[in-house]
Structure 1
């Protein structure tokens, strides 16, 4: 029979079945050690999950191998002194040390002396409990999570346009019936391959796929139209498309009048983005812009989608707003089978940002500075609202303040690897080293865990139960298929044990079902209302869409059909002006760098680099550059290259390709060491979302000395 569950990787949350059998080996299996010696966990795709309908990517097929990582953590580790190595210890020793140090530092420096950092891969239950732990057990305002580096710009732009942030405007299967899809800054053919089948089905039905990307990616190769802008110029491009839409009389004036407000101010702004000017700024030819506008306007049903390429900018919120403005002028949001959507990246990037591990939010997508929200959540938690802290620092600001005179002196980190994934990674590594106490809960010794004072071995995806919310806003069940190894605890057990030692008030269940029941009460009446969702309903219905305010409510697969959740029920146009990248190219740093993912790796690589088949498919970092640029710089395919920005230097192999702009290079960010892309990236922050500018900075390149012979493109 097997255990039905979902993939541990991206937000598509593909359905799969895990089963245990004999000692078979090969693709899609992982042999358990410890109590399950000799047993093999096998992966099979499920065809009853609409998101993937029987498909899996290479990461999904090999996901069971994560369960048998050779360096799996199975016992707590602790340093006996600052310079001592990590050594095994008992759980009581580790937890007592963490609680005692947290209490000491809070007494000396106040509750904000201890910070918490979470992850977008945590289940809803764990994300909820972690936010509660920070505010109630520690009393700290200093909590944020790595999803700030992923979807925060789209969340902020959606909130101010629609009054709510929820990934897609409907089930992912709606895309197949579209007449056109514009995808800005996403390479789904590599980052979530089963998603492509919905776009392929659309194209087979006569629809058109338009992709905005400075690279000719695997997704672009399957598109009908490629718009290839200079990195950082997406606002100008979106405004130029809207200018053409209005000029050619293709805007949906009836929809604009009936369902939106603020169009006049946006019309005034985009009047200045005439086609020739936009071509000069972006490099996108005017005929291609006209073709894109006409494909969208004549499609009947259409979608405008953004992903990290349009969001990870110091003006990412405005970039997304510019694309939302285009969608609104086309009359798409609030129409069945159409709309604007964000392609959430991390496995629980949607749910992870809804229930309290963001610096400014409480469960249910409530604002932490809203007195009514504080009163409601405090009532569920059994504490006085006045004891809850206010808003804290965003992820990069929190990490940058660690160990400073006014910043946190301790950090408890769950499910993240900022030594690899944070911008300006060398500076982040330095700040971690300045802490009095770094505690990391993980299932492998990630680059961040290796720098910790205390390491707590945590259960992973197939060893625990809970819920995840995918990119559609569909709440799904993750089911435990195998027990964790001896000596390993779940994050809920770790949080509960620390809360007990800190004598925190309230209930601290370690049972996911009980925690979810409390989450439902805490979210009731909020924007992300889960109060009508139960494990039983998820099981019976194959997932439930939020908001779902009561048990007899059907859930909301397509929000906005009748009205938008704004005070007047109208969607809002928001003007957005192009200002260019925070750091433009110049004589010293004449080339744009953009970053992203590759097919066989995921996020910081802490998981995928440990899977042999994935490590073989993508064995190390590289820089992708155009042959003409390489020729000017004396760089050979496969040779080693020094890539330098104002923040650091990385040394990687060269991969020459005509699929990228002459003025741009690309590096994936999955690897540690001297090839870390985030040694180079710009931590400049969006003023609204506090998103760093991962997607564009200025660099210079040169051949590295003594480059040994190597296979080209390796």
Structure 2
């Protein structure tokens, strides 16, 4: 009898896509290979591509990013609300409805009755075009974006101190050559994990790592010194460190004299402070403040990194400026192994804030209220300067205007404001009052579910464009596959809407490269000058740092080697007081609630909750609370709890841990509905940059059963 041999067929590779991660600001490069088995099933293999930022590393989010792009819930047709329900429509129906409703509302209520809300994960091309569409297509002043909640405090502090805002003033690779590193309010181990080897390598080289955080995070576990500061007291803590540095004579007088201004006022203020008082108010022992200050002050080289833990406060701008005071006072900037870094959270948080999504900005970090800037950008766009509207308001202020019914219609692109804004209940109420809402997204987010029109948009694997990582390095991400169904690129949607609004001549783009070339020209001569960067150069050189003013310029890898960007070339010190948090705990709300990110999720979770692998790691939200605090309020581990502030209630499961301060609770930010931490967060805004005070909200906590019983008796 003849024995039959079964020949196993190898899967066939049907597509190879070289791309980069759509999530955090590192923008790791990767290859996604699509394979088809003999049975017709598809599988995907993801490998890292060596690159200068992540050095060929990928985290769990990047490894599984493709999953959401293939999810069955992807939007593949436009949707229009009819008789209360979102139903499938054609693109012609959807775009005609959007343009006609926008025109009708603007005719009745004025051009500023329509607003735009963008996102920090959009490409540079779409960010640029969204700003242009607001000012030229709709001629409205009201545009802002969710990056207001990410980088605005660091951006404004960098601009005031240095004259320019770029995420890192030097290259990532210089981290390992620094003798002292301060990570303040940033949990890189979970938020940008592919950067952690830079810090471990620095420690191997003998560097001292100082982490400032109310929690013992994965990042803090690596630290030589952990300063477990009370939320909202970062500025005061830095004053304490400056006090030690000044008293011990660890300042760089030569650098201060030749390259800065305003030092005398700062020195007078700091020398009058009492270190014991600062230790008491911050909750950090005096000995630890002294130890950290000496480590940074005595080091020949040092770098400071801040993120949302420092910045998302009503005094976030000043808190960052105080860290910059310390950098300047010790002369640790403009040379190898020295500098400052604002650790951007969103994928294109850096590029997204440079080219016109912000209420007060035009491309290249130009200002919409600057006469020269207006004239230049108007000349690029082919309009008169007086046709450009004035500046609008910040993202949350726009939501307040929506709630007051001063804004009648809203176009949301690449964002989910109903979850990401503080005081989220007010935002949801406001969105229901709108006469007309349009959302462009890949999925039916919480915000899209309230929309009158939903437009299906392409994903990162499908849309070519540039992104700017946390270093200020511009990278080209090329499309590897076609968008599913009838989904279109976000920039295409803007061009088609502009055509229907009678402004199509200003938006005659056929591909993303054409948009980028106009962006280059619009940014030319600005602080964020992209003029010398081209798609061809990016393909050959991988990435280029801005400013890059000409085609033969190599890009600026390290800023401020000889001068700062102010007209006089000097950096500016700023005296900062040691104020308490804007919202203080009291008898009714005795705890401070802070929030942050988790490794497996991104922003409001619209994408990562559609990744089976990532969702399985964290299927629900939770609250972290210290064991002593849990006992005091009769809270058991893993039980349901109600967390309440003056603004609202969050219901979620409890995690008892001694890694957090006793006076503080922590909730991640990636869930909507009753698990949305922003139902309780404070909307108080930083007066300098309009950053909401996400990180210090006074709350009460109790078992959910008690809360439920109370609600039944109301």
TM above 0.5: yes
Give the equivalent residue in structure 2 for 1:423.
422
Q: How has the CA–CA distance of structure 1 residues 341 and 650 changed in structure 2, closer, same or farther, with 3 Å as cutoff?
A: same
Q: Paired residue for 2:4? A: none
8 Å CA contact 2:246, 2:271 repeated in 1: no
Q: How far did 1:325 drift?
A: 0.3
Q: Counterpart of 1:87 in 2: which secondary structure?
A: strand
CA deviations 1:619-650 (Å, max 9, x no partner) are 11111000000001110000011100000011
Distance 1:354 1:707 in 2: 45
Question: In structure 1, what is the Cα distance between the partners aligned to 2:630 and 2:191?
Answer: 27
Say if 2:68 is the partner of 1:54.
Answer: no
Over 3 Å counting, the alpha-carbon distance change for 1:389 and 1:38 in structure 2 is farther
Deviation for aligned residue 1:39: 4.5
Q: 1:174-213 maps to which residues of 2 (within 5 A)?
A: 174-213=174-213
Per-residue deviation, 1:601: 0.9
Q: Which residue of 1 aligns with 2:67?
A: 65
CA positional deviation for 1:602 = 1.0
Aligned residue for 1:43? 46
Partner of 1:712: none
Q: How far does residue 403 in structure 1 lie from its aligned partner after superposition?
A: 5.1
Give the C-alpha shift of residue 469 in structure 1. Answer: 0.3
Mapped to 1, the partners of 2:392 and 2:648 lie a distance apart of 29
Q: 2:366 maps to what in 1?
A: 366
Residue number in structure 2 paired with 1:493: 492
Partners of 2:538 and 2:106 in 1: CA distance? 41
User: What SS is found at the alignment partner of 1:349?
Assistant: coil
Q: Does the 8 Å CA contact 1:153/1:320 hold for their aligned counterparts?
A: yes
- SS in structure 2 opposite 1:699? strand
Matches within 5 A, 1:443-592: 443-504=442-503, 505-592=505-592
Paired residue for 2:18?
4
Matches within 5 A, 1:622-637: 622-637=622-637
How far 1:40 sits from its partner (Å)?
4.1
Shift of the alpha carbon at 1:41? 4.3
Query: Where does structure 2 lack aligned partners over 5 or more consecutive residues?
Result: 1-14, 709-714
The alpha-carbon deviation at position 507 of structure 1 amounts to 3.4
Aligned to 1:87: 87
Q: Do structure 1's residue 687 and structure 2's residue 687 form an aligned pair?
A: yes
Deviations 1:26-57 (A, max 9, x none): xxxxxxxxxxx85544321112x122112111
CA deviation after TM superposition for structure 1 residue 331, in Å:
0.6
CA deviation string 1:278-298 (max 9, x = no partner) = 101101111111111121122
Aligned to 1:253: 253
Report the CA distance between 1:431 and its aligned residue. Answer: 0.5
| Cα deviation, residue 299, structure 1 | 2.2
**Could you say if the C-alpha distance between residues 437 and 707 of structure 1 is closer, same or farther in structure 2, counting changes exceeding 3 Å?**
closer
Does the Cα contact within 8 Å between 1:492 and 1:510 map onto a contact in 2?
no
Contact 2:78 2:454 in 1 (8 A): yes
State how far apart, in whole Å, the 2-side matches of 1:373 and 1:318 are: 27
1:305-454 to 2 correspondence within 5 Å? 305-402=305-402, 404-405=404-405, 407-454=406-453
1:256–1:331 Cα contact (<8 Å) kept: yes
The structure-2 alpha-carbon separation of the partners of 1:23 and 1:343, relative to structure 1 and needing over 3 Å to count, comes to farther
- d(CA) in 2 for partners of 1:322 and 1:198? 25
**Alpha-carbon distance between aligned partners in 1 of 2:296 and 2:226, rounded to the nearest angstrom:** 14
Once residues 506 and 63 of structure 2 are traced to their aligned partners in structure 1, the CA distance between those partners, rounded to angstroms, is: 41
- Aligned residue pairs: how many? 693
| Aligned partners of 1:336 and 1:561 also within 8 Å | no
Over 3 Å counting, the alpha-carbon distance change for 1:461 and 1:23 in structure 2 is: farther
CA distance in 2, matches of 1:98, 1:155: 34
Q: How many angstroms apart in 2 are the aligned matches of 1:169 and 1:524?
A: 20
1:22 equivalenced with 2:21 (yes/no): no
| C-alpha displacement of 1:541 | 1.1
Equivalent-residue separation in structure 2 for 1:422 and 1:69 (angstroms): 26
Q: In structure 2, what is the equivalent of residue 28 of structure 1?
A: none
**CA deviation after TM superposition for structure 1 residue 707, in Å:** 11
Return the alpha-carbon distance in structure 2 between the equivalents of residues 383 and 706 of structure 1. 62
Alignment of 1:126-137 (within 5 A): 126-137=126-137
Q: CA deviation at 1:23?
A: 4.3
Kindly indicate whether the alpha-carbon contact (under 8 Å) linking 1:126 and 1:492 is maintained by their aligned counterparts in 2. Answer: yes
Separation in 2 of the partners of 1:463 and 1:687? 40
Greater Cα shift, 450-459 or 250-259: 250-259
Distance, in Å, in 1 between the alignment partners of 2:600 and 2:38 is 23
Does 1:103 find its partner at 2:103? yes
Partners of 2:43 and 2:144 in 1: CA distance: 37
Q: Report what 2:9 is aligned to.
A: none
CA–CA separation in structure 1 for the residues paired with 2:111 and 2:210? 50
- Asked if structure 2 preserves the Cα contact closer than 8 Å seen for 1:403 and 1:409, the reply is no
Aligned counterparts of 2:37 and 2:593: Cα–Cα separation in 1: 46
Give unpaired runs (5+ residues) of structure 1.
26-36, 709-714
Query: Secondary structure of the residue that 1:462 maps to in structure 2?
Result: coil
Matches within 5 A, 1:694-713: 694-705=694-705
Cα distance change, pair 287–460 in 1 and its aligned pair in 2 (3 A)? same
